[in-house]
Amino acid sequence: MDDSNIFAVIIAGGRGTRFWPLSRTARPKHLLGLNGPDPLLRQTVDRVLPLATAQRTLVVTMKSHADEVRAVLNGIPAKNILVEPVGKNTAPAIALAAAHVLDAGPDAIMAVLPSDHIISPPEKFLDDLREGARLAASGNILVTFGIAPARPETGYGYIEVGRKLSGKAFAVNSFKEKPNRKKAKDYIGTGRYLWNSGMFVFRAQTYMNMVKEHLPALYALWETYRNSPRAQDDLERYYAGAEGVSIDYGVMEKCRGSVAVVSAAFQWSDVGSWDAIDEIWKADAAGNRKQEGELVALSSRDNTVVTKKLVALLGVENLIVVETDDAILVCKKDRAQEIKSLVEEMEKRGLTAYL
């Protein structure tokens, strides 16, 4: 199989709350360089470029981020940046991209990739993607990517793996929503579960066939859009009518029998909140992490600090400290999931300039 009918469809959304105060409404996680100078979105595009090329890379993003996305994706044709007039979750966004991908022919394949995950090494990622694409090309099948669980994580969905199809590809017995800790441990104990990475590969036509079956109203809107001049008006009409539903709930779960999972050989993190930074930043001997600028720590362990300024720590443990031009966050690591509550509190108090 040659790569020339594989498109990358990168979903660049996000509200910018989980990495506050670094992420903001106008600067969501995919525009941050959490593991280096390049924004995660740019890294995502570059990672898949050997497979998809710039011409076959599509990015779906929000109006409020479009200018910065275009600036970050210097080299990607402007027409490939698809700007949603309003957010309607992933199923309609992926259908929008499918309309454009299908212009290349009925066998065109799309790799649907979140824009804000950290993945390495790129070679293994591309190998797995190609394996998924081969499987997707072979029939009416939706391919997802599963990650061997490293811990009983409660923040991810799980995929129950069925019979082997080929190489690292398996049938999917079931999708499981984010479990509680006990369930997560049970899943891991069986050895038959993978984390759901939220990445997919399929023929655009296959996806739209599934949409036609399970989301017929969306399909009708989409068909109208596809056959229209695809002007701004047409796009707005499509989004105005579209039901906001995710690909997971709207399509994947309803098509279990037609879904395969590739067990990934690459390292993966969705860096879901500040505490996940510890998976990607190196710690010093005391477990403290800081990427740039000086750190002076006495009797202090396992803290993660984000600022260019010198930081002095004295007698503190398991803190996240983040400084930006206008705000400072000091947070216990085990509370990092609650940063969205802080953001809600700021909204309530009208502190919108900080969001």
- Give the interface with a second copy as residue ranges (CB under 8 A): 20-21, 294, 296, 298-299, 303, 307, 309-316, 319, 321, 323, 326-332, 334-336, 338-339, 341-342, 345-346, 349, 351, 354
Between 54 and 312, CB nearer to a second copy:
312
CB atoms within 10 A of CB 175: 18
For CA atoms 16, 17, 18, 22, the dihedral sign is positive
Coil vs helix vs strand at 134: helix
Between 1 and 351, CB nearer to a second copy:
351
Between 204 and 329, CB nearer to a second copy:
329
The per-residue DSSP string of 225-248 comes to HHTS---HHHHHHHHHH-----HH
Between 79 and 349, CB nearer to a second copy:
349
For the CB of residue 75, give the shortest distance to a second copy in the complex, in Å: 36
Between 155 and 293, CB nearer to a second copy:
293
- Number of residues that make up the chain: 355
For the CB of residue 158, give the shortest distance to a second copy in the complex, in Å: 28
Tokens of 316: 């503190």
For the CB of residue 281, give the shortest distance to a second copy in the complex, in Å: 18
| Closest CA relative to residue 60, chosen from 122, 123, 8 | 8
Residue 338 DSSP label = G
Distance CA 254, CA 174 (A): 10
Between 233 and 344, CB nearer to a second copy:
344
Beta carbons within 8 Å of 338's beta carbon, 6+ residues apart: none
For the CB of residue 296, give the shortest distance to a second copy in the complex, in Å: 6
Distance CA 5, CA 323 (A): 45
Between 140 and 299, CB nearer to a second copy:
299
Residue 254 DSSP label = G
Angle at 252 between CA 250 and CA 254, to 5 degrees: 70
For the CB of residue 252, give the shortest distance to a second copy in the complex, in Å: 34
Q: How far is CA 185 from the centre of its chain?
A: 24
For the CB of residue 153, give the shortest distance to a second copy in the complex, in Å: 20
For the CB of residue 39, give the shortest distance to a second copy in the complex, in Å: 24
Between 178 and 332, CB nearer to a second copy:
332
Q: At what angle do helices 90-101 and 216-226 cross, to 10 degrees?
A: 40
For the CB of residue 327, give the shortest distance to a second copy in the complex, in Å: 4
Are residues 57 and 48 in contact, defined by beta-carbon separation less than 8 angstroms?
yes
Distance CA 202, CA 136 (A): 5
Tokens of 258: 């037609």
Between 108 and 329, CB nearer to a second copy:
329
For the CB of residue 309, give the shortest distance to a second copy in the complex, in Å: 5
